[in-house]
């Protein structure tokens, strides 16, 4: 199977594109990343292209990347310290913020597809 085509919400679409752009920025011009970014960008609606949501999601993913890298280093050294716990909580809070941004995008676009989270996260 070469490719799967699915319907996704605008929020999920922009989130995926933001993740790939941050990976490209942090990992370099990896051919596989560039190919996937190109595949997504050709479907980027002009109204979404001109909004600040993609940049907002990219900024959030940069923060999450940094937090995750710090956690991975601590975990690799088996240092499950107070700092590790703080980073875990912070990552969860950023992930909830990510959900709120995607939800705003989906509501703005009138998408019937929405990501659901437990009431605790909202």
Closest CA to 11 of 111, 119, 117: 111
How would you label 57-78 residue by residue, b for 16+ Cβ within 10 Å and e otherwise? bbebbebbeebeebbeebeeee
Indicate the number of domains in the chain: 1
pLDDT tens string 49-101: 667 899 999 999 999 999 999 999 999 999 999 999 999 999 999 999 999 99
Whether 62 is covered by a domain: the verdict is yes
Which two tokens mark 72? 């991975």
> What's the rounded Cα separation, in Å, for the pair 14 and 25?
16
Whether 81 is covered by a domain: the verdict is yes
Whether 57 is covered by a domain: the verdict is yes
Q: Which domain holds residue 105?
A: 10-116
Whether 122 is covered by a domain: the verdict is no
Whether 1 is covered by a domain: the verdict is no
Q: Report percent pLDDT > 90 for the chain.
A: 63
């Amino acid at each position: 199977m070469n490719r799967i085509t699915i319907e996704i919400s605008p929020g999920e679409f922009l989130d995926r594109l933001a993740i790939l752009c941050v990976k490209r920025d942090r990992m370099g011009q990896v051919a596989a990343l560039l190919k996937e970014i190109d595949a997504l960008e050709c479907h980027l609606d002009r109204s979404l292209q001109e909004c600040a949501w993609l940049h907002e999601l990219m900024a959030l993913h940069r923060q999450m990347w940094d937090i995750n890298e710090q956690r991975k280093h601590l975990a690799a050294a088996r240092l499950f310290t107070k700092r590790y716990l703080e980073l875990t909580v912070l990552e969860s809070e950023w992930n909830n913020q990510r959900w709120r941004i995607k939800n705003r995008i989906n509501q703005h676009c009138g998408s019937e597809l929405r990501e659901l989270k437990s009431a605790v996260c909202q």
